[in-house]
């Protein structure tokens, strides 16, 4: 009987590790199932369709790359953060914490499972929202632009390589300045093959000017544009651009940056840790503040943030479970 005595502490430690792992898996499965309901999926789908529709309604195509990530991040935060914060706070009101406190589950394992299940469910809801928003917003028509190639150092002659299937007329975008007088003039000569077209335009003091160029059909090949400013008109430093039509933006062009996803993940960790100890309003406010901050950039920072969130969630869960026990 004596040789078996040293094995008792090891067996107790194994039992403790097994119970902790079981608590983590059980907490993660229960939390994931409670968060990922059909109502939450319907809300995520609706939010994704709305974000995509708002992107389609933007007045300028230039706003799409800047506005779309902000729309998706805001809708994801408004959907996911309250759902994650509501779970621990509702458990305290319904007596669910008292039920878990009566079971042989460790607070660390239970908090770890709740953290893992909430983060996984929240990211899946956000992913559904992003995918639907990309599919809808990808139909946004964007202009097909060909940049000009300078043909000489002194003369303002630009060559535009046009695909064979496109047809005009085309919009030529220029940067123009009229610094000394109220208006200036600009002579635009368009040449394609053996055809030539000359336009004399009045230029107002605007930063961007759009000139409509003819197709010069049936000629084919590159389009040569000569610009001769006069009357105080000065051409800007930006290269002239030729708009040759439009095409759908596509979902691939709307991929979110890693910084946006990292910001949402950081806010999820903060809101869940705060919800385990505080009220629903305080947890949501903490998540919104974390969303406005810069997330960690290195692996050590993420490890530290996840560890502190787990410690805070464990202490909050242990306190609430002890208070909820009869």
Map out the domains of the chain with their CATH numbers.
16-140+253-324 (no CATH), 143-247 (2.60.120)
Confidence class of residue 22 from pLDDT cuts 50, 70 and 90? Answer: low
Angle at 182 between CA 176 and CA 183, to 5 degrees: 50
Among 27-36, 98-107, 264-273, the minimum mean pLDDT is found in: 98-107
Decide if pLDDT at 136 tops 70. yes
Residue 80: Cβ-neighbour burial (10 angstroms; 0-12, 13-18, 19+): buried
Distances (CA, A) of 185 to 72, 99, 200, 205, 209: 45, 82, 7, 11, 12
The residue with tokens 């995918």 is 131
Cis ω on the peptide bond leading into residue 225 (within 30° of 0)?
no
Helix residue spans in the chain (DSSP H): 7-35, 38-56, 64-94, 96-102, 107-137, 258-275, 280-292, 299-324
Q: What is the pLDDT of residue 50?
A: 92
Confidence class of residue 1 from pLDDT cuts 50, 70 and 90? Answer: very low
The answer for residues whose C-beta is within 8 angstroms of residue 316's C-beta and 6 or more apart is 88, 111, 273, 276, 277, 278
Compute how many other C-beta atoms are within 10 angstroms of the C-beta atom of residue 143. Answer: 15
pTM here is 0.69
For the segment 67-72, the average pLDDT, to the nearest whole number, is: 87
Residue 97 tokens, joined: 């914490």
Q: What SS3 class is residue 138?
A: coil
The rounded percent of the chain whose pLDDT value lies above 90 is 5
Pairing of strands 184-192, 156-160: unpaired
Query: Up-side HSE of residue 228: CA atoms within 13 Å toward CB?
Result: 8
Which residues are bridge partners to 214 per DSSP? none
Q: What is the pLDDT of residue 7?
A: 44
Confidence class of residue 15 from pLDDT cuts 50, 70 and 90? Answer: very low
The rounded percent of the chain whose pLDDT value lies above 70 is 76
The answer for residues whose C-beta is within 8 angstroms of residue 28's C-beta and 6 or more apart is 112, 113, 114, 116, 117, 120
For the segment 22-48, the average pLDDT, to the nearest whole number, is: 84
Compute how many other C-beta atoms are within 10 angstroms of the C-beta atom of residue 24. Answer: 22
């Amino acid at each position: 009987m004596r040789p078996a005595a040293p094995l008792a502490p090891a067996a107790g430690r194994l039992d403790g590790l097994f119970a902790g792992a079981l608590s983590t898996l059980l907490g993660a499965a229960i939390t994931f199932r409670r968060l990922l309901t059909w109502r939450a999926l319907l809300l995520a789908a609706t939010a994704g369709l709305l974000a995509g529709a708002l992107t389609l309604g933007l007045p300028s195509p230039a706003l799409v790359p800047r506005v779309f990530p902000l729309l998706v991040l805001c809708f994801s935060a408004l959907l996911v953060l309250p759902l994650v914060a509501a779970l621990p706070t509702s458990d305290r009101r319904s007596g669910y914490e008292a039920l878990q406190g009566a079971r042989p589950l460790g607070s660390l394992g239970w908090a770890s499972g709740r953290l893992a299940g909430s983060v996984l469910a929240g990211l899946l809801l956000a992913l559904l929202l992003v995918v639907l928003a990309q599919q809808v917003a990808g139909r946004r028509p964007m202009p097909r632009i060909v940049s000009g190639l300078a043909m000489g150092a002194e003369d303002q002659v630009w060559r535009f390589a046009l695909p064979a299937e496109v047809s005009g007329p085309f919009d030529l975008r220029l940067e123009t300045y009229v610094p000394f007088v109220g208006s200036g003039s600009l002579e635009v000569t368009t040449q394609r093959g053996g055809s030539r077209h000359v336009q004399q335009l009045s230029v107002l003091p605007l930063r961007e000017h759009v000139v409509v160029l003819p197709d010069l059909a049936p000629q084919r090949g590159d389009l040569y544009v000569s610009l001769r400013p006069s009357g105080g008109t000065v051409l800007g430093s930006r290269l002239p651009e030729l708009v040759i039509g439009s095409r759908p933006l596509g979902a691939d062009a709307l991929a979110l940056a890693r910084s946006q996803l990292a910001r949402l993940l950081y806010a999820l960790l903060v809101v869940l840790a705060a919800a385990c100890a505080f009220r629903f309003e305080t947890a949501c406010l903490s998540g919104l503040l974390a969303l406005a901050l810069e997330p960690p950039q290195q692996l050590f920072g993420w490890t530290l943030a996840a560890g502190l969130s787990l410690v805070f969630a464990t202490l909050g869960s242990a306190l609430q479970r002890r208070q909820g026990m009869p």
